[in-house]
Chains A and B, each alone.
Chain A
């Protein structure tokens, strides 16, 4: 009788053991989620959005896999743990990439801001030399208005830069630079035409 009871208990213990041998790797899940949050805080969504989406998708797949295992009588979290390790490493990489990309864009904005300030300065000097013949002065007046808009845009871009919105600042300052360079080319062409005209004696009347 004693033996039967012991054997029954052994069978129950075996079933209990088999059904509870897998434990949710909660610490790793928490660590990976924290790493993804850190990547988001590092503005991965702004600077490396595709990478962030990929890591978020991986985490979603892991969460589903956890539930799959939890749905089973005999749970097995080994493969999930391996995937978590890989996703954690990926999340850390995404955070690092976001920081690097942000620094790169920041540097780009700084360079463009320096460049455009030089172009604005050059344009101001060129305007004094530009020909004021037929409609020239009217065009210069228009250019002055546009230069004022460009300067306002540069100030806006500087404001965005100061706030840390480097991507927005980059778009704004690039557009301002394109316009400033356009005006610079127009001014140089107009000055060159006059110089060229004077250089040709045949053009004199």
Chain B
């Protein structure tokens, strides 16, 4: 009987002590920073969704690395005996990750908003630039290299716009930046070339003044060719009488330097010969006295300075002739009019009629504004 009581007591002691031990064991177990790690993971995920991996790459990568460090530390701690575990580093890295993720997300939102605004503005600006390039330089003899650059710039702009519409802002940024480089460099190159060309404007203006004055004094006809606007303007008694479209040499910018350069000369000339139908292959023609004394002096100086080879020839046979209306600068330096317009000019012209060829009658500023 006494033995039974003793066994019962032992059993009761065990029944109480086992759960108690378990409770003590559990309560002594160190708690991992679950909430902090979960929060860090959620914030990191949100940062990724907000595009921080693209727009705030450095901060996002740091946040990701800190999260990975937290997990690695957690795994390592879990390998240790349960009561020796210390999750302090896990919590530290998780907090750091959350902090960096928040920074990355905020930074990403502001960066992406700025980028979107910047891209939209750039697209508008570059499209305006393309319009300006088309307006100014469609008929300007740019080098094929510059033309190709402009064309590639336009293509990249198109690709950038497509990426922008799809929300691929980083891709759009790359394409648009490349496009901007090509288009602005080409535009700058072309306008600098143009500005350089217009340095002769005061000379052109003086020639035009003299020609109109001569027309007024002689009460006769004078012809002015404005190369930039491609106009042939006939004056009588100093007043404009007719205005026609012209086509020039393929390489019309600048003075004619040498035979075969396809440039239309610039200077004050006179008609030396009239060639009616049958005497020219260009319907009707008016030969001018290119090269004049100035042209000859300039040519000699160039040969002497070695900027032209000694074997170079100055060229000649520059005419105002028919067969124009092709819509392109196609002559080897002559001025082409449509046959109908040529009839009018041919009728009023005679030997000695002044023909003044200038780069432009308008200043560059006015040309650009126009």
Contacts and interface: CB of A to CB of B under 8 A. Distances in A.
Interface of A: 3-4, 7-8, 11, 14-15, 18, 53, 57, 60-61, 63-64, 67-68, 70-74, 131-142, 145-146, 148-150, 153, 171-172, 174-176, 178-179
A53 B49 contact: yes
Contacts of B158: 175-176, 178-179
Contacts of A176: 155, 158
Contacts of B245: 134
Given A71-B29, A71-B30, 4 more contacts: A132-B328, A142-B138, A178-B162, A179-B155
Nearest to A141: B328
Interface in B142-184: 144, 147-148, 150-152, 154-155, 158-159, 161-163, 166, 168, 171
Interface stretch (B70-78, B117-125, B284-292, B359-367): B70-78
B71 A179 contact: no
A175 B159 contact: yes
A148 B152 CA distance: 10
A134 B71 contact: no
Interface in B99-158: 134, 138-139, 144, 147-148, 150-152, 154-155, 158
B157 to A, nearest CB: 9
B301 interface: no
Interface of B: 7, 10-11, 14, 17-18, 21-22, 25-26, 29-32, 34, 37-38, 41, 45, 48-49, 71, 74-75, 77-78, 82, 85, 87, 134, 138-139, 144, 147-148, 150-152, 154-155, 158-159, 161-163, 166, 168, 171, 245, 325-330
Contacts of A149: 148, 151-152, 154-155
B135 to A, nearest CB: 11
Contact of A138 (B26, B34, B78, B138): B138
Contact of A15 (B22, B85, B155): B22
Contacts of B163: 171
Given A64-B37, A70-B78, A138-B139, A7 B11 contact: yes
A131 B328 CA distance: 11
Which of B21, B30, B168, B326: most chain A Cβ within 10 A?
A: B326
A67 B32 contact: yes
Given A64-B37, A64-B71, A171 B325 contact: no
B151 A60 contact: no
B41 A60 contact: yes
A161 B138 CA distance: 34
Given A4-B10, A176-B155, A133 B148 contact: no
Given A15-B22, A132-B326, A135-B138, A145 B147 contact: yes
A4 B13 CA distance: 11
Nearest to B134: A142
Given A63-B71, A68-B34, A57 B14 contact: no
Contact of A11 (B14, B31, B325): B14
Q: Tell me what chain A mostly uses at the interface: helix, strand, loop, or mixed.
A: helix
Contacts of B155: 149-150, 153, 175-176, 179
Contacts of A70: 78
Contact of A133 (B10, B31, B144, B325): B325
A190 to B, nearest CB: 11
Contacts of B74: 64, 67, 71
A138 B162 contact: no
Nearest to A130: B327
A71 B37 contact: no
A136 B134 CA distance: 13
A135 B151 contact: no
Contact of B151 (A11, A72, A136, A148): A148
A14 B18 contact: yes
A64 B41 contact: yes
Nearest to B11: A7
20 contacts: A11-B21, A15-B18, A15-B21, A53-B45, A64-B71, A67-B75, A67-B78, A71-B31, A71-B32, A73-B25, A131-B327, A135-B139, A136-B327, A137-B327, A138-B328, A142-B138, A148-B148, A149-B154, A150-B155, A179-B158
B48 A138 contact: no
Nearest to B18: A11
A173 to B, nearest CB: 10
B243 to A, nearest CB: 13
A149 B155 CA distance: 8
Contacts of B162: 171, 174-175, 178
A171 B156 CA distance: 11
B32 A179 contact: no
Contacts of A145: 144, 147-148, 150-151
